[in-house]
Amino acid sequence: MFGSTLPPKNVSGFLRRAAFKFSENDVRHWLIMLFADRINVVEGIFEDLFTGRVPNVFAEAGWKGEFKHNPKGVILRASLYTAVTAGAVYYFTRNRRK
C-alpha cells in the first residue's frame, strides 16, 4: 500500500483531487500532481512556523550531502540563485524615472 491514511487538505489537497479527474496517462494529471507537491512543501513550512517550530530548510533539503559530493554544483546553483534574487530586488526597488 502506498500513500497516507490522511485525506488531502488545503490547496494541495484541492489540486490532488482535481488531478484525479484526469486519467493517469494524461500529462495534465502528473503536472497538477507535481504542482500540488510543491504547494504542499510551502504549506508544511507555514504549518511548522504556525506551531512554533522553525524548519531547518538547509538540512531538510539535503544541502550538506550535496555540498559534500558536488561542491562545484552547489556553489554554481547558489551563485545563480543569488544573482537572480539580486536582479529581482534591483528591478523592483529602483526608481522608475521617465
How does pLDDT run across 54-84, given as a tens digit for each residue? Answer: 888 878 888 888 889 999 999 999 899 999 9
Given a contact cutoff of 8 angstroms between Cβ atoms, the answer to whether 39 and 12 are in contact is yes
* Residue 41 sits in the same domain as residue 73: no
Q: How far apart are the first and last CA of the chain?
A: 62
Q: Is 2 within a domain?
A: no
The pLDDT, as a whole number, for residue 62 is: 84
Of all residues in the chain, the percent with pLDDT exceeding 90 is: 55
Residues 64 and 31 in one domain: no
DSSP letter, residue 26: S
Domain count, the chain: 2
Residue 31 has pLDDT above 90, yes or no: yes
Considering the domain boundaries, does residue 13 fall inside one? yes
Residues 12 and 51 grouped into a single domain:
yes
Using 50, 70 and 90 to split pLDDT, how confident is the model at 30?
very high
- Residue-range definition of the domain harbouring residue 81: 57-98
Report if residue 1 sits inside a domain. no
User: Would you say the pTM of this structure is higher than 0.85?
Assistant: no
Given a contact cutoff of 8 angstroms between Cβ atoms, the answer to whether 15 and 21 are in contact is no
